[in-house]
Structure 1
């Protein structure tokens, strides 16, 4: 069994090299995997699954990108790789229609699975950044089904404008925050891992790839952080059979 995990690709029309690199990775590397887990922020923004209906009318390129990625994922799924999608802080409106067209299953955040012979906690990671109180307040709103329903009921052009506004506000807010505020809260990590009874956590979101040796309930534990994809480099975690997770970067063609 080979399990692959990635996150934080932030695909958008303005970064074609990342998109091209991801499509190449799907056709080459990902096909060796029995399962692929995408732990959030596959897209830089997602305004609703009805974006897929606009592939020929959308001048921004977002609809064509979404349709192309869905088709590429479906080809991978049809080749025998199980695909799982978790929401991130950018693409929390990804729904069942996109998942179906991509041949994927939506995965709750958090999720505990047995990988490599041990219980592993999978998360996007944004819920661990509890010191960022402003973001946590927005996260609570954005994950509320009623709020999401109200947004999805808006005309699509208004949703496109809202997504742009939220991205701008997020960038401005982050530029004024201390670095440690935007990282995970160590105590929250330990609490969440103890709550789920695991000694292995894999997440993304922070764009700070690393393997952290920690202690949970007096037991040695590890926190694996996936990196974000850049035009020249991607990140993955591979788990082979009962081996330890391997965090690795690789060049994009």
Structure 2
């Protein structure tokens, strides 16, 4: 079996080449996979399942073709598309999974999947924002707003995030090692896969009891850098790989 993991595509109407690359990814690069996990921030923003435009519809239809072909499709909320709901899952044929979620790499070998933003505990300002936006009552009130009002709110949030991040150090916006060690011990795993930070890498470290841990970090997709990232699971082996987006979008 082949399982793929991707994150942080940040699809948006103003980036058609990136969207085309994802549609072709589903049709070509992911064709041989048995399962695909999209681990947050598939969209740059999502203001509700009742606000699907032509742009979102083409993505939904491509995901539905993928799941209808017999593939397992899983979607995790990110910090940009935390309002993805059950209607979206129904339309795409995807399963919305919790953050964090545990999967099995091989017999009796678990791995923990996360978007990754909850590990950035040094960024206290963001952690307060995250607590607010993940609160069910806040989400219910937000979804009750008119669509145009939600769209303006999403725009303001993105602008505020960009402005705030510009004044923060790289260390503050990265994951906390203490938070990483705490979560892998809490869930009794020694493999962690996440995105969010846009810093693709494989980190090896040891816990206090000298147990070895691997942390796989997915990169974001960028049409400016012409690069996409995935983690491939085959024969119980995880591999972090990059690929050209222009080759996909040019098909």
Q: Return the TM-score normalized by structure 2.
A: 0.95
Q: State which of 233, 238, 241 in structure 1 corresponds to 2:232.
A: 238
Shift of 1:158: 0.1
- Give the 5 Å matches for 1:1-253: 1-52=1-52, 63-117=53-107, 118-216=109-207, 217-231=209-223, 232-242=226-236, 244-252=237-245, 253=247
Question: In 1, Cα distance between the equivalents of 2:54 and 2:239?
Answer: 33
Aligned residue for 2:233, secondary structure, equals: strand
- CA offsets 1:195-250 (integer angstroms, 9 cap, x no match): 000000000000000000011342111000000001111100000132x2100000
Shift of 1:51: 1.1
Shift of 1:116: 3.7
Aligned-residue CA RMSD (Å): 0.8
Aligned to 1:56: none
Question: In 2, Cα distance between the equivalents of 1:12 and 1:109?
Answer: 23
Shift of 1:66: 1.0
Question: In 1, Cα distance between the equivalents of 2:106 and 2:216?
Answer: 14
Unmatched 5+ stretches in structure 1: 53-62
Unmatched 5+ stretches in structure 2: none
Shift of 1:33: 0.9
Evaluate the alpha carbon distance shift between residue 237 and residue 116 of structure 1 in structure 2; reply closer, same or farther with a 3 A threshold: farther
Question: In 1, Cα distance between the equivalents of 2:2 and 2:192?
Answer: 18
- CA offsets 1:139-189 (integer angstroms, 9 cap, x no match): 000000000000000000000000000000000000000110000000110
Q: Return the TM-score normalized by structure 1.
A: 0.94
Question: In 2, Cα distance between the equivalents of 1:51 and 1:234?
Answer: 27
Q: Does the aligned pair in 2 maintain the 1:128–1:188 contact within 8 Å?
A: yes
- CA offsets 1:11-54 (integer angstroms, 9 cap, x no match): 001111111111111000111111100000000000000012xx
Question: In 2, Cα distance between the equivalents of 1:205 and 1:106?
Answer: 18
Question: In 1, Cα distance between the equivalents of 2:51 and 2:73?
Answer: 21
